[in-house]
Amino acid sequence: MTYGWAILIVIIVAAALFALGVFNPATYTSSAATGFAGLGTPREWAYSGTAFTIVLNNQVGQAITVSNVTAAQGCYDDTSTPISAGSTATFTLNCTSKAIGDSYSEAITVTYRVSGGTLDKAATGTLTGTAV
């Protein structure tokens, strides 16, 4: 009989925690950016439906031309876009659909060339957040 009451209490506590969202990983996901050495951390980003929009910040110190932005899951934006020093540009990647509230962590690679340069450079990083 005692074991029955103990099991009942454990079930009630687990149900209450589940109802409060304790077991939902999206509860603990905040927006964060890591990496992007040289280029600078993106100013903003949002995942909405199939569109992953990123506002890149040019902190290289001189004008650059971004040749492509890709995510690890295969989505990309290959529009050649010049960004002057200290300015921003918006890129929209067409990705797989995310439902509102889904958490994500996307590995992003930005390929760019410094004005007057002949070699491409790459900045990689990870963007995490919750789809809106």
Q: Which CATH class is domain 31-130?
A: mainly beta
Provide the pLDDT for residue 113.
94
Provide the pLDDT for residue 49.
85
User: At a CB cut-off of 8 Å and minimum separation 6, what does 21 contact?
Assistant: 27
Provide the pLDDT for residue 28.
55
pLDDT in tens, 25-67: 555 557 888 889 888 889 899 988 889 999 998 999 999 999 9
CA distance 67 to 4: 65
CB burial string 26-47: b at 16+ within 10 A, e below: eeebeeebebbeebbbbeebbb
pLDDT in tens, 79-123: 899 999 999 999 999 888 888 888 888 899 999 999 988 999 999
Minimal CA–CA distance to 54: which of 98, 115, 107? 107
Phi and psi at residue 62, to the nearest 5°: -150, 170
Provide the pLDDT for residue 43.
83
Residue 130 pLDDT exceeds 60 = yes
